[in-house]
Structures are given as C-alpha cells and as structure tokens.
Structure 1
Amino acid sequence: MQIRNSSDWRDALPFELPIPAAEAVPGEPTRCAGCGPDSEPWPREALWVVKHRHPNNPAGFVRYYCADHKPTPKLAPPVSAPERARRARAAAPAPRKAAAPSIPERAAVLCPDCFVEVPATGVCGMCGQQVA
C-alpha cells in the first residue's frame, strides 16, 4: 500500500511537540484522544494538538489532548562535548583520493579525400586510403 500525502495544516506542525489546538486549527469542539470516545467534546481553546510519528506514513498523524492527557514533549537527550566530537568525526566524509590521470585523446585525423574521421588503424573507412 502506498500512502499519498496531501498538503494541509498538519504539515506545519512539528513532531511530538504539543501546540494549543486553537492556534493550530480553529474549529468545532472535539474529543480528547486520552479521554476516549465516550467523553464530551472539549472546546478547541482547552485542547492541545500533537503530531506523532507513524512507521508507515512519513507525514505522521495528529491527535487532540486535554490538559490532563497532554503528552510531554520528547526532546533529544543532551549530548556531551566528547560524544558530540566523536559523532562529528564519524559523520565526516572519508578523505577523497586524487582522480586518476586522464589519458589525452588522440587528435582527430581526417581523410584528405573523403573528409571523414579516420579510425586509429589509419585506414579510411570510405575510400581505403592510408592516412598517417
């Protein structure tokens, strides 16, 4: 199954970062994903919207949460200076080798009678004349 993306308001949301729903997309009251489908709808001003990563869809998926169920932002753990330097060295590209010297091409030789290029054998393919 191939997932096609369309462009809409969800593209502007960062992954795993709660944003007030009224700022992200104003609209009708909706239910909190944590409260369940039987709960009463919340006004958008009381909800948070979070875009989560999805294993099969690179665009992810969006859920609404009330203040009680709002997930904490998932931030990358701090990296120490030696670890950062080690990662930089590992990510650095390997030193490039010098390009092999190129062999200059043979100058084009033309047959004086036919005015076509003569192959490396020196014999014209049109008239058979030997050209030096």
Structure 2
Amino acid sequence: MQIRTSSDWRDALPFETPVLASEAMPGDASRCARCPADTPPRERTELWAVKHRHPNNHAGFVRLYCREHRPAIAPPPPAVSSTGPARSRKSSAPRAPRATRATPAVPERVAAVCGDCFVEVPASGICGVCGERVS
C-alpha cells in the first residue's frame, strides 16, 4: 500500500511560524492545544495556527494555540559569510579542489541475462535458476 499526501490548506503554511487561524483556514470555534480540555472553544480570530515539523511526515502537522500559549518565532540561523570574523592561520590557506571520481564511459562488463529466467548470469555463464549455459 502506498500512502500519498494530498494538497490542502496546510501546504500554504510556513513551518514554525504562527499565522492567525481565521486567515489560515475556515471553520468553527476550536480549542487551544495547550489549554485544559474543559476550556470553552475560542473563535478563530483568537487562535494561532502553527505548522510543526514531524519526523515521519514531511508535510508536518498543525496545532492551534491561544495568545497565551502561542510559541515564539525562532530567529533564522545566522548566515555564514566569507568576510566574517578572521579565520585562524591554518584554515585561511587556500584549499585544493576536491578530487571527483570519474565515471567510466563504457561499463566494465556487459551483464549477460538468461533468456529463460531473465536474471543476470554470473561470470561463470551458468544461470543460477535454471542451470542453462548462457554465452
């Protein structure tokens, strides 16, 4: 069975950024994810939708929060620049370009395939399934 994701309003939300729930999605009054269960539902104009990352689902999941429980926006990581703080003498030396492994233009060996079983035959030339000799 293949599980596929469908496209809906959650795809438009940025990760870990609070968005007013009334602007993100339509719906009835709802509860904050962190408030006690006996708290009455709040209107969408009073709730914030936050899309969190999930380890098993790349689309993430969305939770609703009230103003008191709304998570803070995390600052973006600092950008690393080449004109930043001075480097140590050891790391300031120019680096040699990385050697790349060349891919062969012609394969090393053409794989023989058994005409009856349609499996690759080892170098001995004898099919491991039916025992026929393939040349």
Q: Offset of 1:79 from its aligned partner?
A: 2.8
Q: Offset of 1:62 from its aligned partner?
A: 0.3
Closer, same or farther in 2 for the Cα pair 1:64/1:101, shift >3 Å? closer
Identity among equivalent positions (%) equals 54
Closer, same or farther in 2 for the Cα pair 1:28/1:6, shift >3 Å? same
Aligned equivalents of 2:40 and 2:30: distance in 1? 8
Question: Secondary structure at the residue paired with 1:59?
Answer: coil
Which residue matches 2:5?
5
Q: Is the 8 A contact 1:3 1:57 kept in 2?
A: no
Which residue matches 1:40?
40
TM-score, normalised via structure 1 length: 0.59
Question: Secondary structure at the residue paired with 1:54?
Answer: coil
Which residue matches 1:126?
none
Unaligned 5+ segments in structure 2 are 88-96, 107-135
Q: Which amino acid aligns with 1:37?
A: A
Larger radius of gyration: 1
Q: Is the 8 A contact 1:52 1:62 kept in 2?
A: yes
How well do the aligned residues superpose, as a CA RMSD in angstroms?
A: 3.2
Query: Mapping of 1:1-132 within 5 angstroms?
Result: 3-82=3-82, 94=98
Q: Is the 8 A contact 1:14 1:51 kept in 2?
A: yes
Say which structure is richer in helix: 1
Aligned equivalents of 1:70 and 1:22: distance in 2? 15
Q: Which amino acid aligns with 2:72?
A: T
Q: Which amino acid aligns with 2:71?
A: P
Aligned equivalents of 1:31 and 1:97: distance in 2? 57
Q: Offset of 1:97 from its aligned partner?
A: 7.3
Which residue matches 2:119?
none
Which residue matches 2:113?
none
Aligned equivalents of 2:102 and 2:30: distance in 1? 63
Q: Offset of 1:5 from its aligned partner?
A: 1.1
Q: Offset of 1:48 from its aligned partner?
A: 0.4
Unaligned 5+ segments in structure 1 are 87-92, 103-132
